[in-house]
Amino acid sequence: MELRHIRYFVTVAEELNFTRAAARLCIAQPPLSRQIQDLEAELGAPLFLRKPRALQLTEEGTLFLQYARQVLELVDRSAEDIRDMKQGLQGSLYLASVEGHAPRLFSSWIAGFHKNYPQVQYSLWNGDTDDVEGRVNKGLCDLGLIMDPFNAEGLNSIHVYSEPWIAMIPAAHPLAQWPGDSIPLAQLAPYELIIPSRATRLQEITGWFAASGQKPIVRCRMAHMLNAYELTEQNVGIAIYPAAAAEFAAGASICIKRLVEPAVTASYALVWSQNRPLSRVSREFLNYVQNTLADPPAE
């Protein structure tokens, strides 16, 4: 069995079509079909069910695909490691994050990592926690920065940051006159609220109110903090978001108060897939982040 057989097989398994796979590999279809047949003969088992218009992986093919991908990843990683020994760490780091404090965390980590490894390139993508989880699980990004709650199945994770939840209150609203920089959650119950759009967030916030026998009046559910701020400024409702949202509210038109009774926090986690090995660049970046978190803050 040669390495090209494994690459050919993975490409066919991804396309489930010999014609498209041959086009990707820049070879003719008949030689590709023969190479797969030779591989099946060597393994002593069919890897594909050949149907008139489609291919389907057999049980043996599905198992072999897992091993084949691991082999190719190890080959690519070893090539990266050898190249890095000669030229220094390089390559691309694919990151995805939610909004809130996550962009600031990534920016700080990238700035420090860049000083150590100036040849590394970065590709950043933003979405909500569900979107970022999906990209990590599909292998579209190496590391993701998300917020609790999230589905931990298939993911490794480390906690990296926490911040309180706040209420963004229109300056003309009666609750803007509430004394101090915090406000009990129960005081918000009679008023229309603007909250994050994730279904898990609605369940979470509803649970906060239910603890005191109340039910929130949710008027709007917004995917982005900036949109929530704009609606709050127009007096549509009171927005409940993690504290990073306060960065939008620089003017006198919005009053910011920390939620208490209960005092609730938003937690951020750095995640990566359990099912595929990290690249050398990703491993080094993850180590850098973990070392940064372990270092005590400078006095």
- From first to last of the 299 residues of the chain, give the pLDDT tens digit: 788 888 888 999 988 888 888 998 899 989 989 989 998 999 998 999 888 778 889 999 889 888 888 888 777 767 766 765 556 678 889 999 999 899 999 999 999 999 999 989 999 999 889 899 999 988 889 999 999 888 888 999 999 999 999 999 999 999 999 999 999 999 999 999 999 988 889 999 999 999 889 999 999 998 888 899 899 999 999 999 999 988 876 567 899 999 999 999 999 999 999 988 888 899 999 999 999 998 654 44
φ and ψ of 263, to 5 deg: -85, 110
The rounded distance, in Å, linking the Cα atoms of 24 and 10 is 11
| Parallel, antiparallel or unpaired: strands 254-260 and 238-242 | unpaired
Our measurement of the distance from residue 201's CA atom to the centroid of its chain's CA atoms, rounded to an integer in Å, reads: 17
Task: Enter the DSSP assignment of 199.
Answer: H
Determine contact, residues 103/132, Cβ cutoff 8 Å. Answer: no
The rounded distance, in Å, linking the Cα atoms of 262 and 265 is 10
Task: Enter the DSSP assignment of 296.
Answer: P
Determine contact, residues 161/293, Cβ cutoff 8 Å. Answer: no
Helix (H) or strand (E) holding 255: strand 254-260
A 10 A CB-CB count for 134 gives 14
Determine contact, residues 254/171, Cβ cutoff 8 Å. Answer: yes
In sequence order, the β-bridge partners of residue 221 are 195
pLDDT at 1: 78
pLDDT at 74: 77
pLDDT at 209: 94
The rounded distance, in Å, linking the Cα atoms of 86 and 191 is 63
3-state secondary structure of 177: helix
pLDDT at 267: 95
Instruction: Compute the residue count for the chain.
Output: 299
Determine contact, residues 89/280, Cβ cutoff 8 Å. Answer: yes
The rounded distance, in Å, linking the Cα atoms of 66 and 69 is 5
What CA–CA distances, in Å, run from 38 to 45, 197, 248?
Answer: 11, 52, 62
Tokens linked to 214? 């109340």
pLDDT at 75: 79
Task: Enter the DSSP assignment of 140.
Answer: S
**Model confidence pTM above 0.95:** no
274, HSE (Cβ side, Cα atoms, 13 Å): 8
pLDDT at 299: 40
Tokens linked to 2? 């040669």
